[in-house]
Every structure is written in structure tokens, then in C-alpha cells.
Amino acid sequence: MSSANYLSAPFYNPALLTSYDESDDVGILFPVIGVELFDKDDLYNKGNDFSDSYDNYQSNAALAEQTLNQLKELQGATGYVKAGAGVAVALPNAVLPAAFLFNTYADVAAFADVDSTDWTNNGNVLPTNENLINSKVVAMGAQVTDFGISVAQVYETEDGYQWSAGVTPKIQKIEVLNYVANAATTDFDNIDDDQYRHSKSTFNMDLGATAKLDYGFSTGFAIKNIFKQSVDAPTVDGVQARYELSPVPTASVSYKLDGLTLTGDLDLLAQKRFTKLSGTSNAFNASDDDLQMAALGAELDLFGWAQLRGGYRHDLKDNQGDAFTAGLGFSPFSVFHLDIAGIYAGSNEFGGVVQTSFTF
């Protein structure tokens, strides 16, 4: 938020468009791609294990106890997947630095909704007819796509300090998914059907500011999506979900000394995500998927040709595990740039990012 360069500014803080060298004329980021998986409850494997056991149980009653126990183990299991891609073209200049932005990401949460009537109404065993199974696996998802133009300007105070302000007006499309599958089959084959989706197109905006201080310190502040948006998904099998895209203000501080950069970012409010779910057998706590991140990072630049990066990220809401990041960048002749990063937060919690760019 306070240390990124002008090319990545549209994704984090538009004010950083003013962070460029005199030799910079144009930058092209094409593309940045990232994926993160959080399945600490092992929902994917537990769901498949129960589905396989149930198939065998239908023809072998001796598996009744094992199959029932596997269904009970599903209760409360959740998982999240986030994936995104982006493109930017930046035009740094002394008059009005600007950048064109395309960014899209998908945010999917899934959880098991186990209904105890599946066995209490059937003599403490499961019915062998899968159509009589009431337990479900629910997938709620949202895809957010932005098309925007970022602009920024530098200002100077009377005592010589420089600060920058930036804005990204953007057209935004939000598509929300609500898909419900029978826990006995966990069949998501037709998840792309339009009947499970609602979308909304709207206008939104990001704001940002940065300031250069003494002794190599800089600060930054940005607000993503200043206009709150919410979209209700279709009602499927009695289940209805709502996704909220809420404003997230983030404060940042960074320190640079020669080739070393240290950064710290803090979300001042939580990102809400899914705020409502009704029609399930078990109550949904709307705060269970809130995210509020605090992050620390470091980069060591080796003669402008390579960069070593490391970081740590903590969710103040404790809905995701603490994550460690490590990355490597290559930038021969400061023209072509390749950046690769990995994310690890524990068993079944990991991710990665790949980014290529050109600067002239």
C-alpha cells in the first residue's frame, strides 16, 4: 500500500502511480494470476469419502455405522477458494500519471450442512435412497470484475514534504453463486448453470494517498470499493445467500534503505463477504467468513536484477490461518519482470501468484 511501484498501483493504492523513475515511460502488466485454497477442515476429502462410502452402503448394509459416522464428521466443515487475474497499462508522467485496469477475482465458500433427521427419523441409520438424504453441501461464490482508470497527482507541503493522492473510478460487475448439492453425491457438474447465479453491474471507486517522510519512511492509506454493494443469490432448494462488497480501508507504512524494503499493512475494517444465508438445517454465522488482515513483508533487491521476498499475514478475525509468503523476482535490464510467490498457512491451506510485466 505504501511501497508498490506505479504499475501495481491500480490494484492496491492509486496514489502510488506517482512512484516512478524519470526513465519510465510506459508499463504493461500482463497478467497477474493468483490462487489461494483454505480447507483446514478437509471438507473436500471428507465429502468425497462420505459420498464413496454411501455408494457402497447402498448395496452393503454392514457399512451403515461407518457411513453414518463419516456424515457426522462433515458437520461444521468449511472451505474457501480465491482466484484472480489482472491486467494493467500505466503511463507515468509529470502532468497526470494514469493507468488502465482490468481485474477479476472469484471468492467461493463451501460448507457441509448436515441434517440430523437423516438418521434420527430412520432408526439411527441412513436411508439407502439418496433422494431421501437431507444433508447438503452448499457452495456460495462471488465473482467481482473491475474495469477502471487510475489517476494520481503529487503535492508538496510548505516544508518540502511530498504526498500523493489518487483515485480509480471503475465499472464493476458482481456475480453471485448459490449452489446446493446432495451430500450423498456432492455432484457439482452443472454449477455453471445460470439458474444458480445473479449478477449486478454498478459504479464504484478506490481512493488512496501516500506520503514520503524522513529517513526512508513512507506511509499510505487506501479505501477499496467506497460504495458498499450487496447482491442476493437465487434461492436453490430453499437456501438463499447474500454477498456484500464492503469498503475496506487499509493503512500502510514502509521503510527503504538501499536495496532493502520493509512494509506493514493493516486493514482497519473487516471485509464482510457473505453476510446472509437462510434455509439451511444449521444456522450460519455471518461473521465466520469475515477477513481483516495484518501483514508484514520484506524485499531484498539484488543489483536491480533479482528480488527476494518474504512475508507474514494474520487474519484478525481468525477465520483463516496465519500465512507465510515467499517470492522471487527477476528483472533483467529492468525491461522484462517475472515475479513468483507462494503462500503457506498449514495443511490444505496454500496458494501462489505469478506475474509478468514490461517497463519501458
Mean pLDDT of 80-104: 97
341 pLDDT above the threshold of 90: yes
pLDDT at 76: 86
Q: Categorize the per-residue pLDDT at 83 as very low, low, confident or very high, splitting at 50, 70 and 90.
A: very high
Q: Tell me: the pLDDT tens digits for 256-278?
A: 999 999 999 999 999 999 998 89
Q: Tell me: the pLDDT tens digits for 230-244?
A: 999 999 999 999 999
Mean pLDDT of 334-353: 95
pLDDT at 40: 87
Mean pLDDT of 278-298: 91
Please provide the size of the chain in residues: 360
Q: What percent of the chain has pLDDT over 70?
A: 99
The whole-chain average pLDDT of the chain stands at 94
123 pLDDT above the threshold of 90: yes
Mean pLDDT of 36-63: 93
Q: Tell me: the pLDDT tens digits for 182-232?
A: 999 877 777 888 889 999 999 999 999 999 999 999 999 999 999 999 999
pLDDT at 113: 95
pLDDT at 161: 87
- Selected residue with higher pLDDT from 289 and 169: 169
pLDDT at 189: 73
Mean pLDDT of 122-139: 95
2 pLDDT above the threshold of 80: no
pLDDT at 251: 98
Q: Categorize the per-residue pLDDT at 1 as very low, low, confident or very high, splitting at 50, 70 and 90.
A: low
Mean pLDDT of 301-315: 96
Q: Tell me: the pLDDT tens digits for 96-107?
A: 999 999 999 999
pLDDT at 284: 80
pLDDT at 236: 93
pLDDT at 141: 94
